[in-house]
Amino acid sequence: KDFVNEILKSKTNFHYQLQNAKFDELKTLTWTIIFLNPEDANLSSGEISALKANNNILISYLSIWEAETRQDYWNDDWVDENGNLTSQAPSWLADKNPNWDSYYVKYRLSWWQDIIFSKIDEIKKSGYDGVLLDTVDTYSYWMWNGTGTDYDDKMVDFVSKIRKKLW
């Protein structure tokens, strides 16, 4: 949208903090694009309004192709003490990402997409101005390790559905 470009032109400061975000520190920022993990920041609607009143833009971080163990949807019973999947793990959960504390997901399955759509709804209701979609490139994991084809097309379809929910 054109208004986004105009807003971005007026903002010269960026603040990217996915962990340990505190309102008392964030409230000192003005004319800044602020990237936050809403589950970490846990800001109230009043705090979000106060940050926006300082001419800030709030962007929510959201990992859409990996399940993160620190998210509210996570269930510790899904993995054992060694990080291996248990029989209680949902069908959309796959291998552990060796680089992060997260697990690849079968993003083509509606169960996972429903979780992401629910997160999008929460983000919108909270008052964030936009969403940074992380791990979009993880579809390549499935191209090399999965069965089937058109993983890139399914990724584009999923992102398109997310965009429709946002706008």
pLDDT tens digits along 49-79: 999 998 899 999 998 888 988 888 999 999 9
Provide the edge-to-edge strand list for the sheet that holds 32-36.
Answer: 13-17, 32-36, 57-63, 130-134
Residues 157 and 166: beta-carbon distance below 8 Å: no
- What single string gives the DSSP state of each residue in 43-100? --HHHHHHHHHTT-EEEEEEESSEEETTSTT--GGGB-TTS-B-TTS-TTEEEEETTT
Give the model confidence (pLDDT) of 116-167 as tens digits: 999 999 999 999 999 999 888 777 777 777 666 777 788 888 889 998 888 7
Q: Which residue has the tokens 């069965």?
A: 147
Q: Provide the pLDDT confidence category of residue 43 given band limits of 50, 70 and 90.
A: very high
Lowest mean pLDDT among 20-29, 40-49, 83-92, 106-115: 106-115
The per-residue pLDDT for 3 is: 53
Instruction: Please report, rounded to a whole number, the percentage of residues in the chain having pLDDT higher than 90.
Output: 42
Cα separation, 142 vs 61, whole angstroms: 23
The per-residue pLDDT for 55 is: 86
Q: What's the alpha-carbon Rg for the chain, to the nearest Å?
A: 17
